[in-house]
Amino acid sequence: MELTVSPEVPEVRWRSPEIEHPFCGAFGVPGFQKVSRDAKGRIHLAMVPFALSNPDTTLETLIQQMQTHSGAIPLGESAMGPVFWDPRQVAHLILAGTTGSGKSTLLRSILTLWKHRGASIYLVDVKRGLDYLDLLPHLAAPVLANPAEAVTLLEQLWQEFESRLEQLRQSGFSSFAQAQNQGQLRHLPEIVLVVDEFAIFARSESTKAAKETRLQALQILENLALGGRAGGLHLILSTQYPTAEILGSQIRQQALRISGRLEDKVASQTVLGTEGAESISSTTPGRFLMKDGPDVVEFQAYALPSPGPEHGFQSISCKGTATRP
Ligand SMILES: Nc1ncnc2c1ncn2[C@@H]1O[C@H](COP(=O)(O)OP(=O)(O)OP(=O)(O)O)[C@@H](O)[C@H]1O
Ligand SMILES: [Mg+2]
């Protein structure tokens, strides 16, 4: 995009922070990057999109960033700097994107940071944790692969949630975060439930019983989405196929919404409430749009190095059991 400024306007005006930063920021670029003058003395200002490259990072750097940002989770870098998810502000996360867009890679760094915070992490994943081999030994329960397997866990999490609410009521706090900020309920970990491919909760089944189980699981998930923040329980739902049916408005309203490349504008609208994700190139995995209040921020996600083959054998074990969280 290019703007023309009349020669009478001094540079000090259009370069001033009140003009340049809010204006260019609205377009997701840090400032006017190409300035030229034509034969009539008019000044042409171009906002060249900032070329987002893959940000180099290490786990140590991300942990440090998280600590200096009051526990908010660093996700990647936009033209304006690092982008964070603060789960105490917005409890849940929806992550959409076609296959290969970079969802699991981003999830892996998010979960590694949750693990560092001491959270109890539960994973429902059709691929049974293949993308998270180094995390599997640290999960609170074995990986589950479908709604039928997940329903028992969801019921346990719901009971845990209700028990937490009761403890909060008794100790006079209105939320888990408030209690922990005041040094109470410190023995209770944050709980993170990840569903990598949420569309499995929208599949049609051959039997009535299987359908009932799936709907029951979905209902608990929706209830957890509504109340989870108060109880220190966070949902992370990823999907290749975002539809209004699976991302019910209750879940959407409670979640930070991030999308990688999507097939079409309708899918982008469903996740972000705006078009744009359909224009992300398939050659830039890890490129995401994040709905941040009224704004949409583009960022390149951090990617931690993949785990080596030494993690393979650990996939059969994990810290916890599928019993009460
Ligand atoms: N942030 C990133 N920076 C650089 N490359 C990335 C990034 N994220 C993903 N990639 C590349 O894209 C590939 C696919 O990523 P990933 O498996 O995370 O996609 P996905 O969205 O989970 O796909 P699927 O829906 O099929 O599970 C990775 O193996 C990696 O090569
Ligand atoms: Mg994946």
pLDDT at 115 over 90: yes
Sheet holding 43-46, edge to edge: 2-5, 43-46, 34-37
Whether residue 52 lies inside any domain: the answer is no
Measured in Å, residue 196 CA sits from the centre of ligand 1 at 13
Whether residue 15 lies inside any domain: the answer is yes
How many angstroms separate the CA atoms of 123 and 145, rounded? 8
Which has more pLDDT, 45 or 121?
A: 121
pLDDT band at 264; cut points 50, 70, 90? very high
User: Both 271 and 182 in a single domain?
Assistant: yes
H or E element in which residue 95 lies: strand 92-96
pLDDT at 320 over 50: no
Measured in Å, residue 209 CA sits from the centre of ligand 1 at 35
Collect all residues with Cβ–Cβ distance below 8 Å to 59 and sequence separation of at least 6: 112, 116, 304
pLDDT value for 15: 76
Coil vs helix vs strand at 173: coil
User: Both 64 and 34 in a single domain?
Assistant: no
Measured in Å, residue 76 CA sits from the centre of ligand 1 at 14
Residue 73 to residues 26, 82, 89, 209, Cα–Cα distance (Å): 23, 10, 12, 39
User: Both 81 and 219 in a single domain?
Assistant: yes
Query: Is the CB of 109 within 6 Å of ligand 1?
Result: no
Residue 26 lies in domain: 2-46
Q: How many CB atoms lie within 10 A of CB 114?
A: 24
Query: Is the CB of 231 within 6 Å of ligand 1?
Result: no
pLDDT at 316 over 70: no
pLDDT at 27 over 80: no
User: Both 113 and 205 in a single domain?
Assistant: yes
Average pLDDT in the chain: 86
Q: What are 37-58's pLDDT values in tens digits?
A: 888 888 887 765 556 677 778 9
Domain count, the chain: 2
User: Both 153 and 302 in a single domain?
Assistant: yes
pLDDT value for 57: 86
Mapping DSSP onto H, E and C, the string for 293-317 reads CCEEEEEEECCCCCCCHHHHHHHHC
Query: How much is the pTM?
Result: 0.83
pLDDT at 288 over 90: yes
User: Both 36 and 81 in a single domain?
Assistant: no
Query: Is the CB of 303 within 6 Å of ligand 1?
Result: yes
Measured in Å, residue 264 CA sits from the centre of ligand 1 at 19
Query: Is the CB of 87 within 6 Å of ligand 1?
Result: no
pLDDT value for 271: 93
Closest CA to 75 of 305, 237, 301, 255: 301
Place of tokens 């990598």: 196
Whether residue 323 lies inside any domain: the answer is no
CATH of the domain at 226: 3.40.50.300
Which ligand has the minimum distance to the alpha carbon of residue 288? 1
pLDDT value for 34: 65
Q: How many CB atoms lie within 10 A of CB 195?
A: 23
| 94-121 average pLDDT score | 96
User: Both 153 and 74 in a single domain?
Assistant: yes
